[in-house]
Structure 1
């Protein structure tokens, strides 16, 4: 009997324990889950204010001297040593001798031709005194002024038909022009600097034999340079001579002021571009230097300019509405390497100023107008 009572008590205790444990399990299922805090990303924004946006075209090119002379020899002779060495980097002033060739042999033939002309005129003087007394004084004065060591003076003006036949028949005129031709060629044995500049290329050295038609070097004016750039044909009617241009070096450390000096009147049929020539002056510039030009092409009204990374492939941009990101359609008007000009963006619209990684429409954000101060937050 006692055994039955003990078993009954244990059974009842087991049932009570099971009931309590079951209630505990039920209560644990309804325990509230921990609240995950909502992450709100801070973004840099800007308020749209449409205005006039100048379109700046970027183009690259090398500098070349505006005044450049390729030196060629028209005669043959030995290159004589001058007061300055004929070497690259050597400076010469205007009129100074660049190259002088040995012309002693040719000079002798010129002097011989002058002597023959003088003798021919002297031989007709007795006949002029007898038959052409009225023209004799001017021919006598010509002989008196004739100096074989100087440039041959111009023949006296022939006034009459008889005088013309007489002078021409004696071969005076042909002898005179033969002498002038020889004198002109004699000047080619000396090449003078056409302007003040610097020698950039020297292909010959002193003492060598120079042949006719041989290239000797290059001579440039280092004070004025030009840069040739190719621009899209769509700007052919916009670009004008006299436009100011900013030229920057490759490392972006120096800026030079240039001006559009010429615009080609034809369009390249292959590339559909137009060639623009930019003139620039500065003491730091050198031949062949590579620069980037920024040309002011046109002005777009009622537009804004933003970073190209902010424009989506669907031609939309992100805006901030009530702390949520949204997208609106836009109309790109001009693309540059880093920015894009947009139209049809309403004034007062709050847009992103910098790209946000992982952005999507409906994303919770807090916009600030400055990356330093957060006092201007847009909630």
Structure 2
């Protein structure tokens, strides 16, 4: 029994030793293969950094507003007997939009006007008689009061009739009509919206630290999602005199010509307040910048002593970013060659190979490991 146990133990040790030996042999061969394997070259696209003029901006957001815009409503209750506009049409200042039934008011006005001549004649007669001491001062005052009261009633009735004629307060374009012929309107019913969109306005805020850079007449570029490829040009027309003490922001207003009627009120807009041009600045494609825990980085391509191209990771300080371009303040210089795509597998001192490709696309070719 002991011999059998000893034999089994020896067999097990032999099998275990052979497995360990095979693994050691395998690892040695792998190490030899990796040692003799050429260092991988990572394909990248690059760009040579050059200085250029940079137009800095203050970026902001806001909503488009009309030059003037109101909800047309009635001051007096009444039934509509006339509608003089169509939805979505241009109207002029003073144009009649809606007329409320005013037959009763017109009848009262006609009655008062009929009494006016008699009242005036009576007052003039009493005035002449008073000068001859033929009537008392009290009788003269009563006739004058009656005449003045009638004049006031006539003016009041005219005003009521006029208020039943709802007119456009300014030139503009009406929206969709909310009322119908014959409808009875209570006071304050919304009839239609009227907007003057010949010039649009954009209100936005900027930090108080930027106040010194903003002035009246300054050019502002405006972008809206409806026309992504169009930059609308406006100018700052007003600056709020006070800073909001809670947010530290100051409100700015820009006027934007709208001759083509492309802009509409309520549109979300992005604004770039144009600042003076700065010469000889470093700008790079945003695709060249990668973010790590240590900040923004770029890979600079240099040739080593063996003639191989290798990358050096450099931390950069980025100023402003506009579209696909970033303004770099520190970390690179004119003449540096930086990687614009293919950074995913790169590390410091990695060997690279430059390929021709669109700098904004990731190279399709990847190294074999």
TM-score w.r.t. length of structure 1: 0.68
**Secondary structure at 1:67 match in 2:** strand
Structure 2 counterpart of 1:342: 328
Aligned length: 310
* Partner in structure 1 of residue 272 of structure 2: 294
Aligned to 1:274: 250
TM-score (norm 2): 0.70
Residues 126, 140 of structure 2: 8 Å contact kept: no
- SS of 1:39's equivalent in the other structure is coil
Q: Residues 256 and 337 of structure 1: is their aligned pair in 2 closer, same or farther, counting only changes over 3 Å?
A: closer
For the 8 Å contact 1:80–1:101, the answer to whether it is kept is: yes
Q: Tell me, which stretches of 5 or more residues in structure 2 are unaligned? A: 1-28, 304-308, 360-369
Is the counterpart of residue 53 in structure 1 residue 54 in structure 2? Answer: yes
Equivalent in the alignment of 1:376:
none
What per-residue deviation string (whole Å, max 9, x for no partner) do you get for residues 315-335 of structure 1?
443222323211334333335
Counterpart position of 2:21: none
Which residues of 2 match residues 108-119 of structure 1 at below 5 A?
Answer: 108-119=107-118
Are the counterparts in 2 of residues 57 and 296 from structure 1 also a CA contact under 8 Å? Answer: yes
Q: In structure 2, how many angstroms separate the alpha carbons of the residues matched to 1:97 and 1:196?
A: 12
SS in 2 for 1:75: coil
Q: Please tell me whether the aligned partners of residues 51 and 301 of structure 1 are also in contact (alpha carbons under 8 angstroms).
A: yes
Which of 214, 221, 234 matches 1:239?
A: 214
The one of 306, 310, 318 equivalent to 1:332 is: 318
Give 1:352-363 correspondences, 5 Å limit. 352-354=339-341, 356-363=343-350
Equivalent residue, structure 1, for 2:204: 229
Tell me if 1:283 matches 2:269: no
Paired position in structure 1 for 2:162: 187
Change over 3 Å in CA distance of 1:183–1:82 after alignment to 2: same
Alpha-carbon distance in structure 1 between the residues aligned to 2:321 and 2:250 = 19
| Aligned equivalents of 1:301, 1:354: Cα separation in 2 | 27
Q: Which segments of 5 or more consecutive residues in structure 1 lack a partner in the other structure?
A: 1-28, 134-162, 373-379
Spell out, residue by residue over 1:102-136, the C-alpha distance to the aligned partner (whole angstroms, 9 max, x if none): 11101222233333443221102234445569xxx
After superposition, the Cα gap between the structure-2 partners of 1:350 and 1:166, relative to the gap in structure 1 and judged at 3 Å, is farther
Select the structure of larger CA radius of gyration: 1
Name the SS for the 1:108 alignment partner: helix
Rounded Cα–Cα distance in structure 2 between residues aligned with 1:265 and 1:200 = 34
Counterparts of 1:109 and 1:303 in 2: how far apart (Å)? 79
Cα pair distance change 1:305/1:268, threshold 3 Å: farther
Counterpart position of 1:99: 98
Question: After the TM superposition, which residues 1-379 of structure 1 pair with which residues of structure 2 at under 5 Å, given as runs?
Answer: 35-50=36-51, 52-85=53-86, 88-129=87-128, 170-171=144-145, 172-250=147-225, 252-280=228-256, 281=258, 282-297=260-275, 303-308=281-286, 310-313=289-292, 314-315=294-295, 316-322=297-303, 323-335=309-321, 339-344=325-330, 345-354=332-341, 356-367=343-354
